Every structure is written in structure tokens, then in C-alpha cells.
Amino acid sequence: MSEDATTKKTPGLGGISLNFVPAAGDGSAPVSQSVAAATGESVDARVVIVGSGPAGLTAAIYAARANLAPVVIGGLAGGGQLMITSDVENYPGFPDGIQGPELMGLFRKQAERFGARVVDADVERVDLSRRPFKLWAAGVEYRAQTVIVATGAEAIWLGIESETRLRGRGVSACATCDGFFFRDKEVAVVGGGDSAFEEALFLTRFASKVHLIHRRDQFRCSKILKARAMAHPKVEIHLSRTVEEVLGTEHVEALRLARTDGPGEERLSVQGLFIAIGHRPNSAVFRDWLVTDEKGYLRTDGPTTATDIDGVFVAGDVDDHRYRQAVTAAGEGCRAAIDVERWLEAQESDARAREAASTAAEPRRAAEATTA
């Protein structure tokens, strides 16, 4: 994992300088680079995009190229989840793969090239009761005709030091993203719900063996997934165990497991560890305004990216707990920007029509007044 990749010149990419500072690998507060320090300042925008992951920055590219001069309040952990991963091999256009932070630096560079303004701050509070919508970040009030919420989600980790140290060196939270790197290797999945089983079954395509570790003595997943996993010759189940430590210096070599049903520890040799204990959507700031599901994911209203608040749109992992990929998030960012553009166009042409109607009515009223 290239912890400081974004502060270096990127070889092979024209030596560009990347703007994001990666989120701290230990999950603690990320480094802020150029937080807008002004207080009392206010900014008006036709569209404010919240979040600078693949969804937010793709929305920014499209909105900027549609001449909407978007403002991106990108978050202190700018660049999103790909900032904590190394090789991304499934993003189209990079046949040799690309480092996550490099990819996000390129997204940002492309958005800024077309005039998007990216602010490295977190939105702390919003008022979506009327337009212009108001958002507050780092002492600045943003007034927006439209808002795209692209605040993403976070994988929930075990929270042990060795897991953080070996993240990207065998520890992952995404089998779809990283399973390919574990061909003919032994891996473990931690979790007891449907996603843990889905991850485990997906990993059987590559790994020589998949150990499924769960702290309880039974699973809370669907029967069908459980039956499939139990029947799979590559899957071995370890109930009533927790991962106490991930062992290895450069890469994952083994796990130290503790039993939850009595004393005793075990060592399990694996080269990969997939954490599948859930994701947390970054929707807290919007929860008082927008509809969420029971897990806090924002809900869209119908087939577009629109929410039930007219003029507010949603894109990426903050509403998508099914696909959770950079390319799907980017696709949603594109959809949201197009939705915004059409929404503004409709509003503006309605306003023009109203103005034309009232201008046409003026001489008639004047003529009627004269006749009377």
C-alpha cells in the first residue's frame, strides 16, 4: 500500500502532482490540506456536490462541462475510499491497473480542469427546507440551487492495530475488488451475515481455501447462502471465534484466533483476510432531511437520482449498498449531474415562460385600463 503516494509525483502518468492527501491508514482523523479557513464567508452556487469520491468528482466533471460551475465540498477525507487501497485493477481505462490515490488524483484534476472548485472540508450542517439550500462547512455558508449528496460509506473494521497495519497488504474489506489477488491462496472472511457469505462464496473462485470466521455459535444469514457455503468443498466454517491479531510483517501470514465459548487460542495460516461485518453510510448530516432505509442509506425517489426534496440528488455508495464499486459510483455521479442539469434547465425555462407571460400581459392590462 502506498501510504504517501499522493504527495509524490506519479511516474508513468505524466509526472502529475496529485492533490489529495490519503486518509490516515489507522482510521483516525485524516489530514486536511487546504480547508477554507474563512469565517463568515458565503458562496452561491448552482450546484454544490458533497463528497469527492468517484461519485462526487464524476458529478463535478459532468456539471463543470455543462457550465454549471460546481462547488465540491469534498470532505476532509478527500478522494474517498479508494484513498486507502493500493491496486485498482477493475476500473476501465487502466489495463495495467492504477493505485487508488493516483486514480482519485486524476479524477480531481479532470474536474478542476473544467472549472470545478474543490474545497477540502466536511459539511457540518445543512438546511434543505427551502431554496437556496444552505450548507455549512469550515465556517463558510454555501447557498445552492441544487445539491448532490455523494458522501459514500465506510467499511466497518475490526479495530485492531494489526488489521490497520496490514490493510492493503492482505487485509481487505472488498472481495469483488481484491479477490483476484488471492489466486490459489488461503484466505479468511470475518462475519456472520449475508455479505460475509457472499464474499466467501465469491472468493472460492480464486482461493484454494476460504475460512469463514464468526464470533457467535450460529449465523444470521439467509438459509440458501448458508447451505451453499456449507456444501462448498473450499469453505471451512469456524464458529465462536474472534480474530485477536493479524500476524505478518509485510503481508498477512496468519491469524491469532480466540474462542468465544471458552478458553483457548488458535493460529490459522492464511494470506488474506476479508472483513465483512458491514458498512456505514456517511449520511448523518442529511438524515433529518432525507429519507433513509433502516441502515441509514439515503433513498432516491423513483428511477432517477432525485430524492423526495426537489433539487436534491444522491449518488454513489451513500445510497448503494448492493454494488459498491468505483465504476458504479462514478456512473451514479454522472446520472446525478445530468439530473441536476435537466432540473435547472426546467426551472429556468419555467421562469422564462412565467416572465414572458407576465410581460405579454402588461400591454393587455394597460390597454384594458385605457378602454375602461
Ligand X SMILES: Cc1cc2nc3c(=O)[nH]c(=O)nc-3n(C[C@H](O)[C@H](O)[C@H](O)COP(=O)(O)OP(=O)(O)OC[C@H]3O[C@@H](n4cnc5c(N)ncnc54)[C@H](O)[C@@H]3O)c2cc1C
Catalytic: 308?
no
| Largest interatomic CA distance in the chain | 101
Instruction: Indicate the DSSP class of residue 12.
Output: T
User: Three cell numbers at 193?
Assistant: 451475515
User: Mask of contacts with ligand X, 109-128, x by CB under 6 A?
Assistant: -------------xx-----
Q: Which one of residues 1, 5, 22, 51 is an interface residue with ligand X (CB under 6 A)?
A: 51
- Residue 320 burial (C-beta neighbours within 10 Å; 0-12, 13-18, 19+): buried
Give me the catalytic one of 178, 317, 319, 339: 178
Q: Which one of residues 22, 70, 80, 191 is an interface residue with ligand X (CB under 6 A)?
A: 80
Please report, as a single letter, which amino acid is at residue 76: L
Instruction: Indicate the DSSP class of residue 240.
Output: S
Using the rule CB under 6 A, give the single segment among 38-46, 83-91, 192-200, 206-214 that binds ligand X: 83-91
Q: Which one of residues 18, 22, 66, 78 is an interface residue with ligand X (CB under 6 A)?
A: 78
- Strands 153-155 and 279-281, by their bridges, are antiparallel
Q: Which one of residues 18, 177, 212, 229 is an interface residue with ligand X (CB under 6 A)?
A: 177
Please report, as a single letter, which amino acid is at residue 90: N
Regarding 316 and contact with ligand X (CB under 6 A), the answer is yes
Q: Which residues contact 59 (CB under 8 A, 6 or more apart)?
A: 49, 70, 148, 150, 315, 333, 334, 336, 337, 340
Rounded distance between C-alpha atoms, residue 362 and residue 241, angstroms: 79
User: Which residue, 63, 67, 77, is CA-closest to 147?
Assistant: 63
Regarding 98 and contact with ligand X (CB under 6 A), the answer is no
Shortest gap between Cβ of 353 and ligand X (angstroms)?
Answer: 36
Regarding 179 and contact with ligand X (CB under 6 A), the answer is no
Catalytic: 174?
yes
Contacts of ligand X in 137-166 (CB under 6 A):
150-153, 155
Give me the catalytic one of 120, 177, 319, 320: 177
- Which helix (H) or strand (E) segment holds residue 88: the answer is strand 87-88
Measured from the CB atom, the residue of 267 and 280 that comes closer to ligand X is 280
- Name the residues that contact ligand X, by CB under 6 A: 50-56, 73-75, 77-82, 84-85, 88, 90-91, 122-123, 150-153, 155, 172-174, 177, 282, 285, 316-317, 324-327, 329
Catalytic amino acids? 174, 177-178
